[in-house]
Chains A and B, each alone.
Chain A
Amino acid sequence: MADIDTQNMIDQEEVLRPKMVTVEIAGKKYDVPEGITVIKALWYAGQEVIRGIGCLGGFCGACATYYRTKDDAKVRTCLACQMAVQDGMSFSMVPPFPARKAIYNIAELKDPKQDLFALYPEAPLCRNCNACTEACPQTIDVREGVWRAVFGDFKAVSEMFMDCVMCGLCVPVCIADIAPNLVALYASRVQGAHFTEKPERLEHRIKEIADGKYRDEWARVMKMNEQELAKVCAELK
């Protein structure tokens, strides 16, 4: 057994030679183990994180972070729960940006493609600087998405932004004060609510349930004792 165990062991550099690296968190230097995530580095440095933390799985967008690697002038973005630290890295978490979200009633929009310009009048003012695309930690082509929204191709927007975690990193970099993530969310919701076929089979099922199609079957099943139920369940494949 012991044999099998050592045979089946993966080499891991970080465990073989545990190495500390120096990182700079919001301007202060700390030594932390190499390869841990940015959020774990914050914990390692003794910092409680309440603002800027959420699912820890790369989905909620709470932990938007700016970082720079050693000797590189380029400041990049990441989600702190998904980025491994390396020596010489500097990073700061990004507080929420006060972007304006338009308030609308999705069901009552009359001409939603046109309404975009009333709700987000800045949307067509994109000057193609591409900073939003470069800021996206999900590698969405944000700039292209904004243009697609402006041209009314909401379907493309909804597909492009399925990856969007609403971290908002595309917002502060926009020189035209567009909040691309909010524009995209509007376009995606509209695409779903107004421009996607109503699924017939679903409507049919709702009606069947309302009409009591399953009433007899329910009556039969709900009357069964545990043994009878177990038998029926065992037969399901």
Chain B
Amino acid sequence: MDIHKLQEIVHKTRDARRKQTLPKYAPAERDTLIKKYHPDFRESAYRPIAFGPNAGEKTVRELAALLEGNSVVPMDLDLTPQHACDVLVVGGGGAGCAAALHAQAQGAKVILATKLRLGDSNTVMAQGGMQIAVTNEDSPVTHFLDTLKGGHMKNDHDLLKVMVEEGPSIAKWLLSLGVLFDRDADGNLHVKKGGGSSKPRLLTASDYTGLEIMRVLKDEVLNQKIQLLEFSAAVELLSDGKGTCTGAVLRDLDNQRFFVVAAKTVILATGGIGRLHIQGFPTSNHFGATGDGLAMSYRMGAKLMHIDTFQYHPSGAVYPEQLIGALVTEGIRSEGGHLVNARGERFVNELDTRDVVSSSIIRECEEGRGIRTMSGRIGVWLDTPLLEAEQGEGTLNKHFPAMVRQYERFGINIAKDPVLIYPTLHYQNGGVKIDVNGESDVKNLFVAGEASGGLHGRNRLMGNSLLDLMVYGKRSGLTAAARAQSGSQGKLTMEHVMKFKDEAKKHHVSADVISPMLFPAYAKKE
């Protein structure tokens, strides 16, 4: 059927829906809904990990294979270092830049290595904003409780308390670097309400919050003359043979040569796993989101946590084809946009947590109330024109310029027509277990940002990721710098990798899966 015909029901039901209020689900209903429809509960997608620090625990098959994977580095590689530093930061996104800047400010010699360019990350795409409790009606404690509720009470309390309490000083730091957060008329920071939050707490830079932060941090990394190794992928960590991290083997992606960086401390800020396309989901993630840090730190003995739970962002584009997987910002729902099924009905409180909203969209589609595309996708409507009806013409263009532009390129005017969405693989809720200074179970190995786990519990609250990156980037940077200054460079060995290979053999795990994966194989080769 013609798309405009199908959209008619959204236009027709708009006025009636505007009068409607939908309650949020009670805790018991939430649990039933999630268990029945959330992809985290699809048994067949999971299997136990055969060996290593998390042996016997279940995760998705795609990730289990990489965690048990084999090293790409020849075991007889000459480990004479080509570079030496106090702090090696792996990853050039928000957490990596924050870590590098704070470590360097302490006088540490820092190297920042990234497999693509400085700034390649998911951070740059973050549109919704950054949760920080700054208003009089709000407090860090309320922020803590909201996050805990969103995370199904599984969050590490200490990690979470530190994050919410350091939020305001992080905002101050970013402002001092020139980040332009939206303001109220009186000069105070403007806050928006995010899904799953009881108070408006999102600091934003229109719908370009991540881009604005990344532009500034990248520029500052250059101003501070931090040594960069771009197009250099970390492929193995090095240890002193007694379990302490002492550096890494990197691969120059231009000539494929391996080289060694001796580092008194290493900070992994390698991000998430969207490009593994777990369970066949499209993803909103950047090209390099392949879970490299998880695989490398697992081989070195770092314990992972909550790696059986992932966040499927409720609103990934499913139409047009070119935008599949791309994110439609949560801001639309924050500002009152409705989710509407093929019958013109709302079916969930749009501001419930991401896992609840995603599960309810999957329910509508599985029960035949979705809208199909001919390429085999299915979705529900997000009523964008409603925002224009509520807040006046031009609202979308003013508050969501990035999204307007994204659709305009394909001839779709979101001010006039609703858009079709379905959950998209968005975030790895868990990761490497860390303490409040970002240190993993492996001494001198720090992990910051999406690669780390525990803070977000089993479902990250919208807007908490940007804050996580900044707070734990900073804390790991400061701690690593202090550690490096009081310590000396340890031996460089791959003994832990050899032990891991033996374990793999013992458990009859094939040596053919190489990890880290670095990039998805999209180029058509036949």
User: With A230-B153, A234-B27 in contact, is A158–B180 under 8 Å at CB?
Assistant: yes
On whether the beta carbons of A209 and B146 are closer than 8 Å, the reply is: no
Which single residue of chain B is at the shortest CB-CB distance from A207?
B168
Which single residue of chain A is at the shortest CB-CB distance from B379?
A10
Residue from B140, B149, B369 within 8 A of A4 (CB atoms): B369
How many residues of chain B get a CB closer than 8 Å to chain A's CBs? 92
Size band of the interface chain A makes with B: 35 or more
What's the least CB distance linking B31 to chain A, in Å?
12
On whether the beta carbons of B6 and A237 are closer than 8 Å, the reply is: no
On whether the beta carbons of A199 and B188 are closer than 8 Å, the reply is: yes
Which single residue of chain A is at the shortest CB-CB distance from B220?
A106
Contacts of A138 in B (CB 8 A): 405
Contacts of A37 in B (CB 8 A): 322
Chain B 120-157 per-residue mask, 1 if CB under 8 angstroms from chain A, else 0 = 11101100000001111001111011101100010001
Q: A5 at interface (Cβ–Cβ under 8 A)?
A: yes
On whether the beta carbons of B180 and A196 are closer than 8 Å, the reply is: yes
Q: A175 at interface (Cβ–Cβ under 8 A)?
A: no
Q: A83 at interface (Cβ–Cβ under 8 A)?
A: yes
On whether the beta carbons of A105 and B223 are closer than 8 Å, the reply is: yes
Binding-face segment, A69-77, A145-153, A214-222: A214-222
Q: B298 at interface (Cβ–Cβ under 8 A)?
A: no
- Measured in the bound complex, the distance between the Cα atoms of B320 and A4 in whole Å is 21
Q: B279 at interface (Cβ–Cβ under 8 A)?
A: no
On whether the beta carbons of B222 and A84 are closer than 8 Å, the reply is: no
- B348-399 CB contacts (< 8 Å) to partner A: 368-375
Q: B509 at interface (Cβ–Cβ under 8 A)?
A: no
What's the least CB distance linking B330 to chain A, in Å?
14
Chain B 1-20 per-residue mask, 1 if CB under 8 angstroms from chain A, else 0 = 11100100000000000000
On whether the beta carbons of A11 and B215 are closer than 8 Å, the reply is: no
On whether the beta carbons of A12 and B409 are closer than 8 Å, the reply is: no
What's the least CB distance linking A188 to chain B, in Å?
7
What's the least CB distance linking A59 to chain B, in Å?
5
Chain A 57-70 per-residue mask, 1 if CB under 8 angstroms from chain B, else 0 = 11110100000000
On whether the beta carbons of B198 and A196 are closer than 8 Å, the reply is: no
User: With A193-B175, A201-B189, A222-B161 in contact, is A101–B222 under 8 Å at CB?
Assistant: yes
- Measured in the bound complex, the distance between the Cα atoms of B90 and A164 in whole Å is 26
Contacts of A36 in B (CB 8 A): 321-322
Contacts of A101 in B (CB 8 A): 219, 222
User: Could you give 18 example pairs across A and B, Cβ below 8 Å?
Assistant: A15-B321, A42-B523, A43-B524, A48-B523, A50-B253, A59-B210, A60-B214, A104-B223, A138-B405, A162-B212, A189-B178, A193-B175, A198-B175, A198-B187, A199-B134, A203-B172, A206-B169, A232-B145
Contacts A202-B175, A209-B165 known; list 11 others, CB within 8 Å: A4-B369, A9-B1, A10-B1, A10-B6, A46-B524, A47-B523, A192-B178, A199-B183, A221-B145, A229-B148, A236-B149
